[in-house]
Structure 1
Amino acid sequence: MSVLYRNDTQGQFPNSWYAATVDAPPMRPDLRGANTADVCIIGAGYTGLSAAKLLAEKGLSVVVLEAHRAGFGASGRNGGQVASGYNAPQRLLAKKLGADTARDLWALTQEAKADVATNCETIAPDAQWKPGVAHGCYSAKERDGHHADAAYLQVNYDYDQIKTCTQSEFADVVGSPLYQGGTIDWGAAHIHPLRYALALAKAAEDAGAVIFENSAVHHIAKGPKVTLRTGKGHVTADHLIIATNGYISGLERKVAATIMPVNSFICATVPLSDTQATILKQDIAVEDSKNDVNYYRLSDDKRLLFGGRAAAKTTFPQDIGAMLRPRFTALFPTLDRIGIDYAWGGTLGVTISGLPAIQRIDSNIVSAGGYTGHGVALSGLCGKILGEAVAGHASRFDTLATLPTPAFPGGTALGRPLLQMALAWNGLREKLGL
């Protein structure tokens, strides 16, 4: 069964705290009959919606095809962190790609965060931009490495938003004794991701884009014009943007070979008491250096939103909350008996390098995905840049396309088993304390 349907109900948002705290619009119609457009976009997440908004504002006719609902995928169910940079140290990118290219790439990530902040101010105020993302380190060696990364950014890019913390300083903010220190990036932030996605969809429609929901694409016919077929209709367009990320599901082999779907999971506890809520003494998001990564923050109603444990298995566990509970109680033993009201999973896209895969599939087909945990900021930026490329301005597209994103060994046939083995090894290392 396709990843689009294996763990979810057709056309329904997951039973998440996010879905419980939005006023979702009525279901949009599905695609019927013959349709034409200047640009067709597959996927109504941050990437596709950002591209649709830009292109519609430029006066192009835009059709967005979404297999479920706008904001249904990773865009509407992620941890909400608007992170700085990429899933690789900036000093490593400078070493691999050269100082000038690395500087250009950093500038794009700063723009990505600024775009989210501006959108939260203008079209999505209820998404609630809140500054501050902390990173906790379990060893002195890793803490020192993160401090060195922060110093590199300040010296080379004048980025002075990261506060470095000793063990005691970090404990004053994050009330867990396990961390050996870390950093707090006050230039990063966290938001309500589904409210943000729904606002982007409305903004794209207000600009003139048309979104069809429950309209999964099952075939792409390439050529001077591209034809996309769904179960009940088809669209013929001059250009195609593939914005499916981890939900590509074999639709385009070149994309599927470089972007592998993995699952991540989040739970929302019952509201914490005032005493329990002091585990986070500031309204920030936190991530840490566990092999499978933990990420968490407090909601407006003082629930712990706790996520982690990436998995390449195709199906979700039966009890997501029970799987996550040992992870958050290890950090915060006082929450060992806390109730869990919501637990959900989602599929994101990862690449071998951890960097986004920006690709030109054909002369009139472009794609972006594989944000590897940095998608809240980068996906919207990439959507905007895909739109620019379609509109004839490809210089920034070409810059992002320099990011090294090789295909998974064995392509779509062997890539997932190899990724499962790698994630299993990470889990074993974590249990052994390596």
Structure 2
Amino acid sequence: MPYQSPISPGRSWYEDTAGERPAYPALDGDRSCDVAIIGGGFTGLSAAAHLAKAGADVVLIEAHRFGDGASGRNGGQLGTGQRAWAEEMEAEYGLSRARALFELAEEAKAHLLEFSAANGIEIDYRPGQMSVAHKQRYVDDYRRHADIMAERFGYPHLSFMDAAETAQRLGSTAYFGGTRDTGTGHIHPLKLVIGTARVAAAAGAHLFEQTPATGIASGGGKVRVTTPKGTITAQKCLVAVNAYGGALEPVSAAHVMPIGSFIGATVPLGAGSPVIPGGEAVDDSRFVVRYFRKSPDGRLLFGGREIYAVSDPKDIHVGIRRQIAEIYPALKDVEITHGWGGYVGITMPRKPFVREVMPNVISAGGYSGHGVMLANFVGRLYAETVAGNRDRLKLLEDLKIAPFPGGRSLRAPLLFLALNWFALRDRI
């Protein structure tokens, strides 16, 4: 019987196309190491790989299987820059710092591709990404954004598309314009997870699945991570659980909120399909964003149903098919072969949360839908920090991230009300 994640609904198309997915043992007994890592997604596995390659003794634990969370189940789009547009970062932080953050993100993009190539990880990279306006009043913003990226941030790969070009490149008249980015692309995220774990293990990192952290404490120059069958004692610790931290560490829990996001995969559309003929990934201007792309075998992978309540929808396929039909009416009856979901970690300003939350313990997450590129690189930046260079990680640590209002008991219903208002605004 195929493996089914106990924490994320549905079986993904990625799971059925990733190839061999090695299992790692559960931790049984106490361990001592240089660095303990909690969380086996992009950030944790990347940190483990880079630390182990540098000679550090690393122990990484994952509560379920590597890739069961957002890292193995997301939309696969890399994006460009930070989650917020570069000009928005400039307005908040000034041009110099905005450029530094943009350049950091560009390095993250290059690093992901270089790391995969250097280590023989086939991630099914395909170039191109389009961002499109679902309302006419947003079109001028996209036009200005393309100009600003070229003139102020030295990024020549972004071009404005009018309505006619957008329709031709999408195979749909549902949008009014947008931008096309030839300097980025999209990947098979679970293949990256599996490959990064392989690299980390080969470098000497000690990897454990099915091993939840039940507690974390720092004192006397040591960090202690408790698990059901052993305690890990380390010099330093990285908490890389993103949306799946629960109450493990209260500072992160106050700043990173899990929201559910759902994706459907259709049957292959065939060689003559007008849908995204250039093979780019797409995201739109809705606050509750819709994101979609075609797989190498011609399926439409469509994500767009976010939830902010605690329960999952009973039928992922119904909601996804309805949203597909709004953009591609000819696909209103298309067969959906896979429907799956998972939880994305967001912060109030939709910027990553990186903080030292207790002595020698750094937490990283809250990538807010921009983690395919950034999360991997944060793992590398953490390894740099352990080696004594914290300058680049500090660019993210110094971002202004306010906690969610209402504490753990009220933040979910308050966010539910706020974000459903934004979802309503998307429709008017």
TM tier, smaller: over 0.9
CA contact (8 A) 1:10 1:214 kept: no
Of 363, 368, 376, 1:372 maps to 368
Which residue is equivalent to 1:356?
352
Q: Equivalents in 2 of 1:330, 1:11: separation in Å?
A: 30
TM-score, length of structure 1 as denominator length: 0.95
TM-score, length of structure 2 as denominator length: 0.96
1:169 aligns with 2:165: yes
Q: Structure 2: 5+ residue runs without aligned partners?
A: none
Of 45, 49, 55, 1:53 maps to 49
* Equivalences, count: 424
Which residue is equivalent to 1:410?
406
CA contact (8 A) 1:124 1:195 kept: no
Which residue is equivalent to 1:311?
307
1:326 aligns with 2:322: yes
1:272 aligns with 2:254: no
Which residue is equivalent to 1:255?
252
Per the TM alignment, residue 34 of structure 1 is displaced from its structure 2 partner at its CA by 0.8
Per the TM alignment, residue 61 of structure 1 is displaced from its structure 2 partner at its CA by 0.3
2:20 partner letter: A
Q: Equivalents in 1 of 2:396, 2:329: separation in Å?
A: 43
CA contact (8 A) 2:8 2:341 kept: no
CA contact (8 A) 1:30 1:213 kept: yes
Which residue is equivalent to 1:299?
295
Which residue is equivalent to 1:77?
73
Q: Equivalents in 1 of 2:95, 2:297: separation in Å?
A: 44
Q: Equivalents in 2 of 1:329, 1:337: separation in Å?
A: 8
Per the TM alignment, residue 72 of structure 1 is displaced from its structure 2 partner at its CA by 1.7
Per the TM alignment, residue 327 of structure 1 is displaced from its structure 2 partner at its CA by 0.5
1:230 aligns with 2:227: yes
1:240 aligns with 2:231: no
Which residue is equivalent to 2:339?
343
2:415 partner letter: L
Per the TM alignment, residue 14 of structure 1 is displaced from its structure 2 partner at its CA by 4.9
Q: Equivalents in 1 of 2:417, 2:92: separation in Å?
A: 27
Counting only pairs closer than 5 Å after superposition, residues 63-212 of structure 1 correspond to structure 2 as 63-212=59-208
Aligned Cα RMSD in Å?
1.5
Per the TM alignment, residue 232 of structure 1 is displaced from its structure 2 partner at its CA by 1.4
Other structure's SS at 1:157 match:
coil
Per the TM alignment, residue 125 of structure 1 is displaced from its structure 2 partner at its CA by 4.2
Other structure's SS at 2:169 match:
coil
Per the TM alignment, residue 141 of structure 1 is displaced from its structure 2 partner at its CA by 2.3
Per the TM alignment, residue 118 of structure 1 is displaced from its structure 2 partner at its CA by 1.1
**Greater mean deviation of Cα atoms: 181-190 or 10-19:** 10-19
Q: Equivalents in 2 of 1:153, 1:9: separation in Å?
A: 40
Q: Equivalents in 1 of 2:335, 2:283: separation in Å?
A: 22
CA contact (8 A) 2:345 2:367 kept: yes
Of 217, 220, 245, 2:216 maps to 220
Which residue is equivalent to 1:289?
285
Which residue is equivalent to 1:386?
382
Q: Equivalents in 2 of 1:129, 1:20: separation in Å?
A: 18
CA contact (8 A) 1:295 1:308 kept: yes
Q: Structure 1: 5+ residue runs without aligned partners?
A: 1-7
Which residue is equivalent to 1:429?
425
CA contact (8 A) 2:5 2:68 kept: no
Q: Equivalents in 1 of 2:399, 2:51: separation in Å?
A: 24
Of 8, 11, 18, 1:15 maps to 11
Other structure's SS at 1:413 match:
helix
1:265 partner letter: F
1:366 partner letter: I
1:429/1:40 Cα in 2 relative to 1: closer, same or farther (>3 Å)?
same
Other structure's SS at 1:19 match:
helix
CA contact (8 A) 2:50 2:383 kept: yes
CA contact (8 A) 1:357 1:368 kept: yes
1:87/1:416 Cα in 2 relative to 1: closer, same or farther (>3 Å)?
same
2:416 partner letter: Q
Which residue is equivalent to 1:4?
none
Percentage of pairs with the same residue: 39
Q: Equivalents in 2 of 1:255, 1:245: separation in Å?
A: 8
Per the TM alignment, residue 427 of structure 1 is displaced from its structure 2 partner at its CA by 2.5
Other structure's SS at 1:412 match:
helix
Per the TM alignment, residue 314 of structure 1 is displaced from its structure 2 partner at its CA by 2.0
